[in-house]
Amino acid sequence: MSHSEYPYFRGRRLRTGEKLRGLVAEHSLSVNDFIAPLFVMEGEGEKSEIPSMPDYFRFTPDLLLKEVEEINKLGISSVLLFAKVPDNKKDNEGTEALNQDGLMQQTVRAIKREFPDLVVMTDVALDPYSSYGHDGIVKNGHIVNDESAELLARMAVSHAEAGADFVAPSDMMDGRIAVMREFLEDAGFYNTGIMAYGAKYASSFYGPFRDALDSAPGFGDKKTYQMNPANIREAVKEAVSDESEGADIVMVKPGLPYLDVVRAVKEAVNIPVSVYNVSGEYAMIKAAAEKGWLNEEHAMMEALIAFKRAGADIIATYFAKDAARLL
Ligand code: PBG
């Protein structure tokens, strides 16, 4: 620092008290920013904790409604639904995914009936329904693209028919947003939104989620469709392409190790950008806190504000309820 500046600039002046620090904060969090992911399973009167996601549960539809009631009361705007499908309903064609009376479809209907204002989003991908645990149809050991995209588009229409406000394709098949948009328009669902997982990486941070849904790939990995963590320009290209195919919101996933990608995508598109604070990121904070190695609340809020700083407009996070309570 040059001698003439000292001590006229004193950065600490703006940090002298809590109120002042709040006044000059560049970013802030609000309950409006959150999407709460939810896991639904078949049955009645049951909830089960996901072992690798402490304090996070799968619920049967009746108890899920109680959970949604709490989420709604906290002022959180949106939920993102994932269905846990029993093994005997899994196949390679996604038959159960298209079942109008399937678990996902029934759950959407029940939530919209009780909470018409809540923004209900549904995951669109085959892995929970697939006997192979892959996000698309498998043929000769390959995950075929175009057939999968069409099947996923039909799945999206089935969710829209059940009342979903947004469908969230997390599969990373090429061209699926265009097909999905076309199918939705043709079926008259012109107001159903698409939140596209535009830049979704092949990540080990999804481990706990795959425990929650019992959806780990049965062979190989997801690297032929999910992205290489080494790439960022490719993420921008994917996101821009999803925007031009008709996505309404574009998502980056995972979150914390990919904040640079959030920023790059934010600068490249003109639609809202969401980020997924994924299961492994949740598990890391929970595990360290359980060991007494860091303060859970502080680490959580720090991670969440980091997403805003990086440029995210919307955050899907398993911490949604905890953070909403603190705000
Ligand atoms: C599957 C899907 C995954 C997640 C959301 N949708 C896992 C995967 O791609 O294997 C991960 C979410 C999380 O880890 O919290 N289409």
Q: Tell me whether residue 253 is one of the annotated catalytic residues.
A: yes
Q: Does domain 27-326 sit in CATH 3.40.50.720?
A: no
Q: Is 206 near ligand 1, meaning CB less than 6 Å away?
A: yes
Tell me if residue 308 is catalytic.
no
Count of H-run helices and E-run strands, the chain? 11, 12
Does the beta carbon of 83 sit less than 6 angstroms from any atom of ligand 1?
Answer: no
pLDDT at 7: 79
Give CA 165 to chain center in angstroms.
15
CB 316 within 8 A of CB 307: no
Q: Write the pLDDT tens digit of every residue in 312-326.
A: 999 999 999 999 999
Note the pLDDT tens digit of each residue in 182-204.
999 999 999 999 999 999 999 99
| C-alpha to C-alpha distance for 225 and 245, rounded to whole angstroms | 18
Tokens standing for 255?
A: 């979150």
Of ligand 1's atoms, which has the minimum distance to the CA of residue 135?
16
Task: State which ligand 1 atom lies nearest to the alpha carbon of 277.
Answer: 15
Tell me, using a 6 A CB cutoff, whether residue 281 lines ligand 1.
no
Cβ–ligand 1 distance for 201 under 6 Å, the answer no
The CB-based long-range contact list for 22-28 (8 Å cut-off, 24+ gap) reads 26/309, 27/305, 27/308, 27/309, 28/305, 28/308
What is the tens place of the pLDDT at every residue in 137-156? Answer: 999 999 999 999 999 999 99
CA gyration radius for the chain? 20
- Which sequence spans correspond to the domains of the chain? 27-326
- Among 209, 210, 214, 317, which is best to mutate for testing ligand 1, by the most ligand atoms less than 8 A from CB? 209
- What distance in Å separates the CA atoms of residue 222 and residue 142, rounded to the nearest whole number? 11
